[in-house]
Amino acid sequence: AVPLVVARSTAISAKSGLLIKDRTAFENSRKISTLVFDKTGTLTRGEFNVVRFESLDYIYSKEQILNLAASLEGNSEHPIATGIIRKSKELNQKPMLLENFKAITGKGIEATVDGKDIKVVSPGYLRENTLDVDVKSSQAETIVFIVINNKVAGFVALADEVRPESAEAIRILRSQNIKTLLLTGDNKEVAKTVSDSLAMDGFIAEVLPHQKLEKIKELQSKGEFVAMTGDGVNDAPALAQADVGIAVGSGSDIAAETSDIVLVNSNPRDVANLILFGKATYRKMI
Ligand code: ADP
Ligand code: MG
């Protein structure tokens, strides 16, 4: 039988935006010592808008660079893709025909257009492949580079917004002595800006999907009781590994399936509710 006090709390939780799939995880929520947050779609809205786009060579115009990027992104479901396609449509561009599309996991996408190899990739990908580029961004922008036949030909810079409720979530977790960590595939500048603006304890940028899982394991091996909050397909392994896995409701089905608790309103503030309710519930029982 379910203790009455737990039954009541689970009902309260539904009103508070929490869908508790695993009662043990709810019970364990009071033990959480570190809470790891995915960035895009979790602490931020996950809605990218193109801020600027430029050509870095003399052959292609900046419009052609955007057009190429948008053509490839037509095959991707990443929030970056949605932002680039929206901008391209606003400029009445038509997608170009492409062949051999493939994803470069956690780094970008690639295809053949007009016999040329085109990639839309992260700054980390350029560094790893020693493709030199002279773009210094002072702002915290998510930048993707357009690479044509292994030469950097241009870039698109995008911006996403921090969810207004994120700051309060972090503040409450801090008041409960829970360390907060940002984990993202995005670049360091963006990660640092978001982490600093929310006064989080730290950030790890340019992580690949399997590295999210490894980071959770590493924290656990140091004795931390770890919760993970994320929305993406790439967060699912980390959500499963965490002692408490919390999925954002608006995220992918796979994230929701692998998690113990779902934030039905996609509101990071409800993570703080989880901690507060968990502590209140089990304090009454003991
Ligand atoms: P996140 O943690 O932000 O969800 P991802 O692992 O999905 O990170 O992506 C990491 C990085 O890889 C992005 O910031 C971007 O630079 C690049 N990337 C991933 N998918 C795409 C795509 N469809 N188009 C362009 N770049 C992409
Ligand atoms: Mg995400």
Which residue CA neighbors atom 20 of ligand 1 most closely?
108
Give the residue whose CA is nearest to atom 24 of ligand 1. Answer: 108
* pLDDT tens per residue across span 140-194: 899 999 999 999 999 999 999 999 999 999 999 999 999 999 999 999 999 999 9
d(CA 93, CA 34): 46
Query: Which residues' Cβ are closer than 6 Å to ligand 1?
Result: 38-40, 73, 76, 78, 80-81, 106-109, 120, 122, 142, 144, 184-186, 209, 232, 234
Alpha-carbon span 187 to 174, nearest angstrom: 25
Catalytic residue among 38, 231, 235, 243: 38
Ligand 1, from 45, 101, 144: best to mutate by most atoms within 8 Å of Cβ?
144
pTM: 0.88
Kindly report, residue by residue over 103-154, the tens digit of the pLDDT.
998 899 999 999 999 999 999 999 999 887 877 766 789 999 999 999 999 9
Task: Please say whether the beta carbons of 68 and 220 come within 8 A.
Answer: no
For the chain, the C-alpha Rg in angstroms (whole number) is 21
132 is catalytic: no
Q: Which ligand 1 atom lies nearest to the CA of residue 234?
A: 6
Nearest ligand 1 atom to alpha carbon 184: 2
What whole-number distance in Å separates Cα of residue 49 and Cα of residue 157?
8
Contact by Cβ (8 Å): 225, 243 = yes
On whether the CB atoms of residues 248 and 270 are closer than 8 A, the answer is: no
**Per-residue pLDDT, 284:** 64
| Contact by Cβ (8 Å): 36, 183 | yes
Q: Any bridge partners for residue 228, and if so which? A: 36, 245
Rounded Cα–Cα distance for residues 121 and 89 (Å): 21
Task: Tell me the ipTM for this assembly.
Answer: 0.94
From the CA of 142, how far away is ligand 1's center (Å)? 9
Could you give the CA distance from residue 186 to residue 106 in angstroms, rounded to a whole number? 9
Domains of the chain: 4-45+163-285 (3.40.50.1000), 49-159 (3.40.1110.10)
183 Cα nearest atom in ligand 1 = 2
Burial class of 102 by CB neighbour count within 10 A (0 to 12, 13 to 18, 19+): exposed
CA distances from 278 to 10, 26, 115, 140, 268 (A): 10, 6, 58, 36, 16
